[in-house]
Structure 1
């Protein structure tokens, strides 16, 4: 029998809802090795902390001896998940899917145990599908059922297009559960419809229905919206340790306890103590959070160095020791320097930063001035540092 404290941690902390919790606990106590379904559509290559919420739950169950079945959605990615979308998403090429999938898995296994994970591709079963199979699958559900989804209902009401392929997406995801004989599937609360379609299809096929774990939606660094790359409010697993630490420190105080609960293993009793002292020690709590999260993906020493960097650069307004250097002779203007060095990704980003007074020149003497437009490099002294945004620096030599 599994200890009640462990059951409580798995079913309550970092979980929004389980359908059905009673059935899941009975399965867990049965001693059966569970097949934990986690599917992903490699429509993007990055994993951010919003995804990590669910991955941590997988790892907790792996620690009890259960197996993760990671489904690479090489078919559904070419459709695009309509969940929460107000417009039809563009389809990806197969080459895009393959490249994104590899990047995703490299990051996925920084959280989940690779040795307790089986990776499968949807094409292993959908590659054998005939038109008759597709028709048989679609016959199990009605258009009325799908229009009950909030996103579809809203688009239908506003006369916005809904592609037929978007109706196929939940059906294909549901069939994945049949194909791998899933015991438990994980997803955000915005995935509830898709997860329940999988549960229903398994019942139609005479299988034991999977249990559905709905994970909370993590708010991004703006403290308002769902963490998302498109909203630029995300913390990526591909971030440097300094950026990861700094982005956590940029969170509004209102997010601190949620991040502790969903992204760390700090015991609940300690969380209560942190929460009680939050109003008086918000900065200390946030530093502990930033260190804990950074340590998870790097190590304690690197997390400590990132904290020192933050204190030097942000709190004491210093300049990092390890900033990249760029020869003045290689570019005729500051704009060219920033673009060629990768300090900015595009001219449009550069224009936005100038408009926000977010490009600063720090002279050799330590004098700081904000720039609002381009500067000829012949007018810049060697040793000058350019600060771009909050955390990007480049030294001109």
Structure 2
């Protein structure tokens, strides 16, 4: 979409009806206070300030983040002022949402390390330069400067009952598990972010509804101002209700190399085809509807996955990379050949199998064990089943993890 700029260099806000209609429907679950109220603002031509918050609990952004980044991009294309807030302060505390135990706190060094490539990854969707560039902010800039007196005053506007009624806290109470006092402060900190940036709108997944509505309360209390909230559907498997995750082996990261991204999409459960196409790509909605019809008619899901996988790689890498990834997938998995451009893995010593997998980027020992138990690990086509087996690799060996991840030992 073209970003229109007037003679003075000021970005003009678009009120394109079809673009706003897609913006408010494609991935949306709910809009607060109402869709009608937000539509009225958007069609008025008023420029709004909106943001998405992301905590650096991992060094990778994934398709779940991408869904919200895509919505930000649509607002950016319409001429609105968009921010990505990286929670370098809140990330150290940990969001208790959907957690049946307190998160392990991260150190400042861990947060800093995780943040290293966040902007680069987000730039696969957003524009951080040129006309109407997106802006990056860090909440330690204001949260770390609050005095204890200010925190007490701020927290006085909320009650323990508001916090304790949340489902994950109720489940912990019933299970006799502890609820730590600092966990009540997470939604307050997220709410303060809205005040510090003085935003008109916040977007996030449905799992963030409570936290985002706290920010709405904060804007009303301190600025007597409305703040809109858009909650987007979670990218999850309709058959299981589970989000894409490294634990389930379905996580697709934005910094995955093209062949790995393509391969992971091909390995994803068939039930994820439509959610990924609709929420994490720029495939036109009419094409998404055609995908739904084709699947109902019994078209081979593999053929549809090839299309969606190519669109994924096209968006997060390039058209050329998408074409090459598709050709490589067909060559390797249809013709049973090894990949020509497998990522190189430098191993200089004998390692237990489980440690070799960690060196190859498997994100936890638990995930590594799961892969080994499932028989998903091969070295030179020989299956490995003992996590303690000492592996003495040599140059040119091929490590295969699952169906679609290959590494050449160097």
Q: Take 1:238 and 1:253, find their aligned partners in 2: how far apart are those partners? A: 23
Q: Which residue of 2 aligns with 1:202?
A: 219
Equivalents in 2 of 1:143, 1:311: separation in Å? 57
Q: 1:152 aligns with which of 158, 169, 190?
A: 169
8 A Cα contact 1:43 1:77, kept in partner: yes
| Runs of 5+ unmatched residues, structure 2 | 1-13
* Equivalence for 2:403: 390
Does 258-267 or 295-304 show the bigger shift? 258-267
Q: Does 1:299 align with 2:318?
A: yes
**Alignment partner, residue 25 of structure 1:** 39
1:270 alignment counterpart: 287
Instruction: Give me the TM-score of the superposition, normalised by structure 2.
Output: 0.85
CA distance in 1, matches of 2:187, 2:391: 55
Counterpart for residue 365 of structure 1: none
Choose the corresponding residue for 1:139, options 138, 156, 170.
156
Aligned length: 389
Instruction: Tell me the equivalent position of 1:193.
Output: 210
Instruction: Map 1:240-389; keep pairs closer than 5 Å.
Output: 240-278=257-295, 279-323=298-342, 331=349, 335=353, 338=356, 342=360, 353-360=371-378, 362=380, 369-372=382-385, 374=389, 385-389=398-402
Cα distance change, pair 168–395 in 1 and its aligned pair in 2 (3 A): closer
3-state DSSP class of the match of 1:114?
A: coil
**2:187 aligns to what?**
170
Q: 1:2 aligns with which of 12, 15, 20?
A: 15
2: CA distance between counterparts of 1:49 and 1:146?
Answer: 29
Deviations 1:280-319 (A, max 9, x none): 2422211110000111111112111111111122232211
Question: 1:18-43 CA deviation, whole Å, 9 max, x = no partner?
Answer: 11212211111222221112222222
Aligned partners of 1:141 and 1:21: how far apart in 2? 26
For residues 220 and 393 of structure 1, do their structure 2 counterparts lie closer, same or farther at Cα, with a shift above 3 Å needed?
same
**Structure 1 residue 346: deviation in Å?**
8.1
SS across alignment from 2:117? helix
Tell me how far apart the structure 1 counterparts of residues 228 and 382 of structure 2 sit (CA, whole Å): 58
SS of residue paired to 2:242: coil
Structure 1 pair 186–103 and aligned structure 2 pair: CA distance change class (3 A): same
2:3 corresponds in structure 1 to none
Greater Cα shift, 49-58 or 157-166: 157-166
CA distance in 2, matches of 1:346, 1:200: 38
In structure 2, how many angstroms separate the alpha carbons of the residues matched to 1:198 and 1:8?
A: 25
Paired residue secondary structure (1:16) = strand
Match of 2:76 among 62, 77, 86: 62
- Checking the alignment, whether the CA contact within 8 Å between 1:88 and 1:162 is kept in structure 2 is yes
* Counterpart-to-counterpart distance in 1, 2:25 and 2:350: 58
Q: Which has the larger radius of gyration?
A: 1
Q: Please give the per-residue CA displacement for 1:27-66, whole angstroms capped at 9, x wherever unaligned.
A: 1122222111222222222100011111100000000111
1:81 is matched with: 95
Separation in 1 of the partners of 2:339 and 2:306? 18
How large is the Cα RMSD of the aligned pairs?
3.0
CA distance in 2, matches of 1:145, 1:332: 54
Q: 1:388: Cα distance to partner?
A: 3.8
| 8 Å CA contact retained: 1:331, 1:337 | no
Q: CA deviation at 1:375?
A: 7.6
Question: Aligned equivalents of 1:184 and 1:340: distance in 2?
Answer: 40
* Gap regions ≥5 residues in structure 1: 363-367
- Name the counterpart of 2:25: 12
Aligned-residue offset at 1:13? 0.5
Aligned-pair distance for 1:372?
Answer: 4.2
What is residue 114 of structure 1 aligned with on the other side?
128
